[in-house]
Amino acid sequence: MDLDCQLRVEYKKILNEEELLWKQKSRVDWIQFGDRNTKLFHNKAFFRRSLNKISALKVEDQWCYDNEVLQEEPFLHFTLWMIILLIDFLYTDVSRL
């Protein structure tokens, strides 16, 4: 096995170990305090949920906060994107590939 390949394998191994370390660190509180339905754990879950929520999107150079638009716009955006990719694929000159 050449040096480049060995280094890649070692790098992936180190990344996996680092990921495992961070997973373990994130669960220290859970292991230490257990699941007691305490206010602490409810607050942590609520805070995490609030960070994961999308509260605004920029639509046509305007920030939008309407929940209905926040639900529809990503679907419309990616649907249009897929249609454009499909049209591009259908009109691609296959002989060039």
Give yes or no: residues 11 and 24 share one domain: yes
* Gyration radius from the chain CA atoms: 23
Which structural domain, as residue segments, surrounds residue 59?
55-97
Give yes or no: residues 45 and 62 share one domain: no
Give yes or no: residues 92 and 67 share one domain: yes
| Angstrom distance (rounded) from CA 78 to CA 74 | 6
Give yes or no: residues 68 and 83 share one domain: yes
Predicted TM-score (pTM) of the model is 0.42
Q: Which of 21, 37, 53 is the last residue of a domain?
A: 53
* Residue pLDDT, tens place only, 22-58: 777 666 666 666 655 567 777 777 887 777 788 888 8
| Choice between 10 and 19, residue whose per-residue pLDDT is larger | 10
Total number of domains in the chain: 2
| Angstrom distance (rounded) from CA 77 to CA 44 | 32
